[in-house]
Chains A and B, each alone.
Chain A
Amino acid sequence: MAVSDSFSVDSFLSARSFYGHTLTSPLMLGTAQYPSPDILRQAVLAAKPGVVTVSLRREGARQRAGQAFWSLIQELAVPVLPNTAGCYTAKEAITTAHMAREVFQTEWIKLEVIGEQDTLQPDVFGLVEAARVLSQEGFKVFPYTTEDLVVAEKLLAAGCEVLMPWGAPIGSGKGLNNLFGLRAMRAHFPDIPLVVDAGVGVPSHAAQALELGYDAVLINTAVARAGDPVSIARAFSLAVQAGALAYKADPIESRDMATPSTPVVGKPFLE
């Protein structure tokens, strides 16, 4: 029996809203790198994500040359969160956000300002700058950031109402690299919707993010580049449900048995 059959949908949905919108699933699915648009479509059907993200490249925006692919995305009938992947400056990201608003008729923008070409680590300085400009223009900004609390504060001050810290570098599949940092972020911003974005490799990583109390996980490479994207999309869907249910169920604390704190009953003193 599928998990969704035995629990009400509400039982794994976050109470925190994303700019007034409640996600229908804690899974956000990226649309890049699939073997074909058809396999992407099947993966979306299997994952039933709350949103799909789509990147807008300049080559596609000129004369709307990417329209054929965008139409395929829009036909998926899942809310679209356009992103600014591949932008290296605040200015580029702002321009791309404008194009995305026009193409997808949405004020949502997943803001990426990349600072380093190899690790794709965010340039948090450019990010805060672009977030401020876009928020003032009425955009609803979903910033891809690190787990740095000070940067997070500045993003909120710039107008962001959602934070998307990385788990590990984009496409690395390393999982949640800094558990302490992600936990601190959850504790520090109890009312802000938080999404682990980037670095997730396998469904257990996604479940772990939800177990920490995160509201959603964004996954792309781990689905698109798997040998069977459709099956792993379903696995991720189940994993985020499991993680969210577990978080709400108040799991037990782990215990360090290596440091006994009570007398050992039933064991005779040998001396």
Chain B
Amino acid sequence: MVQSENKQRILVKGAGVAGLVTAVTLAERGENVTLYDKGGRIGAGASWMAGGMLAPWCEAESAPPEITVKSIESIAWWKEHLPDVVCGGSLVLAPARDKGDLLQFGRKTSHFQEIGTEEIAHMEPDLAGRFHKGLFFPDEAHINPREALYALLERLKGLGGQAIFESVLPLEESSFDWVVVCTGLDDRAQCPNLRGVRGEMLLLRCCDMTLHRSIRMLHPRIPIYIVPRDDHVFMVGATMIESEESGGMSVRSIMELLNAAWALHPAFAEAEILEMGVGVRPSYPDNIPRVVQNGRSISINGMYRHGFLLAPTLAREAAEIICS
């Protein structure tokens, strides 16, 4: 145990997934952590809209191999920090005429099993008979991102950390030994390469449907995923639009996401729409996040669509700089 007089005072700015995971990681290493967000609450940015899929191998379909390598350790980290990580694997499906997309998805990824009609029916009885070929990634998992953020805040407080949610930081930044900046697009002055990628999502309640794992539905233009939450709630996401517009969801995007959900199962026709959400993902040109040190300041940014997947690894990298 680190002696209190040896504790470093660390300010973590930004209470999205990157900031919260970093704050907890540093507090667990015995540092004196203050978490601050000017948005007035946790998850005021893109993290609140996340799917919460922990899918290192599926992501390899469009992400470079280093994303997969770096994200494998995060599943273990989340299991240590949350009581309810759903470890049911993930399932990739395609309508019959798009089965070519399934072949290509398989060529771009690894750690999956090809499954057929019977296995799909066994794993997801509500989808029985609707799909005849799929890819099953047994080692993947998912979490509820909003509950995860709350749990991390409680964990931080339990470790003696402090959280400040005010529009202006009532403390001098210079009074801290280190400042870790996890404020996404707000830190553009320091990270000029950043751009925002708009994402839109829906929360649906569909009492006639039960799913046990996250499902990806392939489509040449509108690939979607559906992540089951408790109480027959489903998160349907997400669009990827090269725009920093954070205004309300467009009718077209709603139609596309709902059409795809309906194609997965017609029971979604009767679902209740609980929420339409929009987030803007901070992203570097290669869509790979970075930990950048500048004196006593460290920036963790560019999480793109991999915030929950990569935050534990990036937080560890930042902590190794600070605690070395």
Residue among B194, B242, B252 with most chain A CB within 10 A: B242
Q: How far is the CA of A69 from the CA of B243 in the complex (A)?
A: 8
Q: Are B286 and A68 in contact, with the CB atoms below 8 A? A: no
Contacts of B252 in A (CB 8 A): 86
Mark interface residues in B236-258 (1 if CB within 8 Å of A CB, else 0). 00000111110100101000000
B229 contacts partner chain A, Cβ-Cβ < 8 Å: no
Mark interface residues in A54-66 (1 if CB within 8 Å of B CB, else 0). 0001111011011
Q: Which of A37, A38, A68, A227 contacts B196 (CB 8 A)?
A: A68
B198 contacts partner chain A, Cβ-Cβ < 8 Å: yes
B104 contacts partner chain A, Cβ-Cβ < 8 Å: yes
Q: Are A66 and B286 in contact, with the CB atoms below 8 A? A: no
Q: Which of B196, B241, B287 contacts A57 (CB 8 A)?
A: B241
B122 contacts partner chain A, Cβ-Cβ < 8 Å: no
Mark interface residues in A40-83 (1 if CB within 8 Å of B CB, else 0). 01000000000000000111101101111100100000000000
Q: Are A36 and B286 in contact, with the CB atoms below 8 A? A: yes
Q: How far is the CA of A72 from the CA of B192 in the complex (A)?
A: 12
Q: What's the nearest-Cβ distance from chain A to residue B218, in Å?
A: 11
Q: What's the nearest-Cβ distance from chain A to residue B233, in Å?
A: 26
* Given A35-B62, A35-B63, A68-B196, CB of A59 within 8 Å of CB of B285: no
B216 contacts partner chain A, Cβ-Cβ < 8 Å: no
Q: Which B residue's beta carbon lies closest to that of A34?
A: B62
Q: Are A59 and B241 in contact, with the CB atoms below 8 A? A: yes
B295 contacts partner chain A, Cβ-Cβ < 8 Å: no
B220 contacts partner chain A, Cβ-Cβ < 8 Å: yes
Q: Are B286 and A227 in contact, with the CB atoms below 8 A? A: no
Q: Which of A63, A69, A227 contacts B242 (CB 8 A)?
A: A69
Q: What's the nearest-Cβ distance from chain B to residue A202, in Å?
A: 13
Q: Are B242 and A60 in contact, with the CB atoms below 8 A? A: yes
Mark interface residues in B213-227 (1 if CB within 8 Å of A CB, else 0). 000000011000000
Q: Which B residue's beta carbon lies closest to that of A171?
A: B220
Contacts of A38 in B (CB 8 A): 285-287
Mark interface residues in B154-197 (1 if CB within 8 Å of A CB, else 0). 00000000000000000000000000000000000000001110
Q: Which A residue's beta carbon lies closest to that of B242?
A: A69
Contacts of B62 in A (CB 8 A): 35
Q: How many residues of A contact B (CB 8 A)?
A: 23
* Given A68-B196, A171-B220, A227-B108, CB of A36 within 8 Å of CB of B242: no
Q: How far is the CA of A171 from the CA of B98 in the complex (A)?
A: 12
A3 contacts partner chain B, Cβ-Cβ < 8 Å: no
Q: How far is the CA of A57 from the CA of B200 in the complex (A)?
A: 15
Contacts of A57 in B (CB 8 A): 241-243
Contacts of A62 in B (CB 8 A): 245, 247
Q: Which of B107, B108, B195, B245 contacts A59 (CB 8 A)?
A: B245
Q: How far is the CA of A66 from the CA of B196 in the complex (A)?
A: 8
Q: How far is the CA of A62 from the CA of B104 in the complex (A)?
A: 35
Contacts of A184 in B (CB 8 A): none
* Contacts of B22-54 to chain A: CB distance below 8 A: none
Q: How far is the CA of A58 from the CA of B285 in the complex (A)?
A: 22
A39 contacts partner chain B, Cβ-Cβ < 8 Å: yes
Q: Are A36 and B285 in contact, with the CB atoms below 8 A? A: yes
Q: What's the nearest-Cβ distance from chain A to residue B181, in Å?
A: 19
Q: How far is the CA of A37 from the CA of B304 in the complex (A)?
A: 12
Q: How far is the CA of A55 from the CA of B241 in the complex (A)?
A: 11
Q: Are B285 and A37 in contact, with the CB atoms below 8 A? A: yes
Mark interface residues in A212-225 (1 if CB within 8 Å of B CB, else 0). 00000000010001
Q: What's the nearest-Cβ distance from chain A to residue B61, in Å?
A: 9
Q: Are A60 and B286 in contact, with the CB atoms below 8 A? A: no
Contacts of A59 in B (CB 8 A): 198, 241, 243, 245, 250
Q: What's the nearest-Cβ distance from chain B to residue A63, in Å?
A: 7
Q: What's the nearest-Cβ distance from chain B to residue A171, in Å?
A: 5
* Given A35-B63, A69-B195, CB of A63 within 8 Å of CB of B245: yes
Q: How far is the CA of A171 from the CA of B245 in the complex (A)?
A: 27
Q: Are B245 and A60 in contact, with the CB atoms below 8 A? A: yes
Q: Which A residue's beta carbon lies closest to that of B188?
A: A68
Q: Are B243 and A72 in contact, with the CB atoms below 8 A? A: no
Q: How far is the CA of A60 from the CA of B244 in the complex (A)?
A: 7
Contacts of B221 in A (CB 8 A): 171
Q: Are B104 and A227 in contact, with the CB atoms below 8 A? A: yes
Q: Which B residue's beta carbon lies closest to that of A88?
A: B252
Contacts of A221 in B (CB 8 A): 220
Q: Are B107 and A65 in contact, with the CB atoms below 8 A? A: no
Q: What's the nearest-Cβ distance from chain B to residue A60, in Å?
A: 4
Q: How far is the CA of A72 from the CA of B286 in the complex (A)?
A: 12
Q: Are A66 and B244 in contact, with the CB atoms below 8 A? A: yes
Q: Are B245 and A39 in contact, with the CB atoms below 8 A? A: no
6 residue pairs of the A-B complex, CB under 8 angstroms, read A35-B64, A36-B287, A59-B245, A66-B243, A171-B221, A221-B220
Apart from A59-B241, A68-B195, 19 more pairs, CB < 8 Å:
A35-B287, A36-B286, A36-B287, A37-B285, A38-B287, A39-B286, A57-B243, A59-B250, A60-B241, A62-B245, A65-B243, A66-B243, A66-B244, A66-B245, A67-B244, A72-B195, A171-B220, A225-B104, A227-B104
| B contacts, CB < 8 Å to A | 62-64, 104, 107-108, 194-196, 198, 220-221, 241-245, 247, 250, 252, 285-288
Nearest 10 pairs of A and B residues by beta carbon: A68-B195, A38-B286, A69-B242, A65-B245, A60-B243, A36-B287, A59-B243, A65-B244, A38-B285, A65-B243
